[in-house]
Structure 1
Amino acid sequence: MHAVHENSEPGGAPDLLERAATGEAAAWRELVDRNTAVVWAAARAYSPTAADAEDVCQVTWLSLAENLGNLRDPRALPGWLATTARREAVRLSKARHRESPVDWDTGMFDIPDHADGPEVSALRSVAVSRMWQAFAGMSRRCQQLLRVVAVAPDASYAQVSQALGMPRGSIGPKKGRCLAALRERLATGGCVEEAAG
């Protein structure tokens, strides 16, 4: 690792990793700032709840702190972080699934607005329920991609690619197909819900 650092430019990933490994707080903060979107996108894509994603992020950063001097190619840090977050999220999801019979958090789309009256709240609840049912019926890959787009809308395709382990060129077309499938599910599921209600 030290051979890689000798030729690294100041402020580059190898330089920041080396400085962070020596305990420089500013270098650590810069590493976190540069890579937070990748870690969060990977964690959220593979975590059923935002709370689990936060736990995954913390474990990922702790893992980086423990392995600062062991990374073979510091320039591959974003990929290493995305892989670490993805693995931790899968591990945590499996552990949570064994703990509870409840699968995905159904409240992820529910944002309370206390200014609305009971009628608007009831309509919003029905809409959120329909959205959740449509979303839950999609493939896991579509759910992961749409979660990343929802929680990190400013993430670049390169960051989404690292977070999901998906080829960059397939992200746009896959996102379009997933959104079209979600729209179709919402359109066809709406009639069934109204008839049942």
Structure 2
Amino acid sequence: MDLLNDPELLNELAPLLSAEAAAEAPGTGVDPADLEQAVWVRLLESGRRAPDPADPAEPARWLRRAVRAEARLARRSARREIPYGDRRHSAGGGPPAVPAGGAEPEDALLHGEENRALRSAVARLPGRCPELMKALLSPRDLTYREIAGELGISQGSLGPVRSRCLGCLRRMLAAEVAAPGLRGMER
């Protein structure tokens, strides 16, 4: 017997599918209805046969696995998506949203200049701050334990030293960079 031709079983599974999709959707960035639809399409494409009547929990188990698999696919595709529009600004108004491989020459130049300015400011920091900031900015993505071992300081003092160094760097860069313009209506 074909699962798709069993309307009773499909009607029983619909509320479970809605609940599972509603539970998984917030972490995927996808609407729960879209997730439900993807699972129904997966069911249609699989040509799923009816489960063994001795195991009534099998269709629910398949449904849960299918919802989670579709949620994983949605998360993966959301990570790879790049929004259309002005590539120089991200949707949140933060740093530029530029694809890593296909950056335009002027974007690469600006990014390089920003990195040089940051590294120059880090080199001018007082005390142990340059060493610490270089370790924090390292592409090796060191842990606090590894950084403390490299610098020969205790792991517990790393946080306060980092805070002082970041404050000093923030003040230094604020003095070098013009303040952003006013947003909204001026009074």
Q: Which of these two proteins has the greater Rg computed from alpha carbons? A: 2
Q: Which is richer in helix?
A: 1
Same fold (TM over 0.5): no
TM-score relative to the length of structure 1: 0.34
TM-score relative to the length of structure 2: 0.36
